[in-house]
Amino acid sequence: MPDHKIVDLDEWTAARDELLVLEKELTRRSDALALRRQELPWVRIEQEYTLQTADGPRTLAQLFDGRSQLVMYNFMFGPDYEAGCPVCSSIADSFNGVIEHLKARDATMICVSRAPIEKLDAYRRRMGWNFPWASSFDSDFNFDFQRSISKEVVAGWFEGDVPEVPARIAADCGTDPTSYMAERPWLSVFTLSDGEVYMTYSTTARGLEVVMTYYGILDRVPSGRNEGEPADPSWMRRHDEFAQARR
75-97 CB burial, b ≥16 within 10 A, e <16: bbbbbbbebbbbbbbbbbbbbbe
Give the model's confidence band at 63: pLDDT under 50 very low, under 70 low, under 90 confident, else very high. Answer: very high
Amino acid 174: pLDDT:
97
- Distances, alpha carbon 153 to alpha carbons 2, 99, 148, 203, in Å: 50, 35, 11, 21
Q: Distance (Å, rounded) from C-alpha 116 to C-alpha 114?
A: 6
Asked if 208 and 72 touch (Cβ cutoff 8 Å), the reply is no
Amino acid 229: pLDDT:
86
Closest-CA residue to 202 (of 45, 29, 23, 51): 45
Looking at residues 75-100, what average pLDDT do you find? 97
Looking at residues 122-137, what average pLDDT do you find? 98
Amino acid 83: pLDDT:
98
Looking at residues 52-79, what average pLDDT do you find? 98
178 has pLDDT over 80: yes
Question: Is domain 43-246 in CATH 3.40.30.10, yes or no?
Answer: yes
Looking at residues 193-199, what average pLDDT do you find? 97
Asked if 175 and 182 touch (Cβ cutoff 8 Å), the reply is no
1 has pLDDT over 70: no
Amino acid 103: pLDDT:
98
Give the model's confidence band at 53: pLDDT under 50 very low, under 70 low, under 90 confident, else very high. Answer: very high
Amino acid 161: pLDDT:
80
Looking at residues 142-155, what average pLDDT do you find? 94
Asked if 143 and 184 touch (Cβ cutoff 8 Å), the reply is no
Looking at residues 57-83, what average pLDDT do you find? 98
User: Is the four-CA dihedral 176, 182, 188, 191 of positive or negative sign?
Assistant: negative
Looking at residues 148-155, what average pLDDT do you find? 93
- Distances, alpha carbon 5 to alpha carbons 15, 22, 23, 222, in Å: 12, 21, 21, 12
Looking at residues 34-40, what average pLDDT do you find? 97
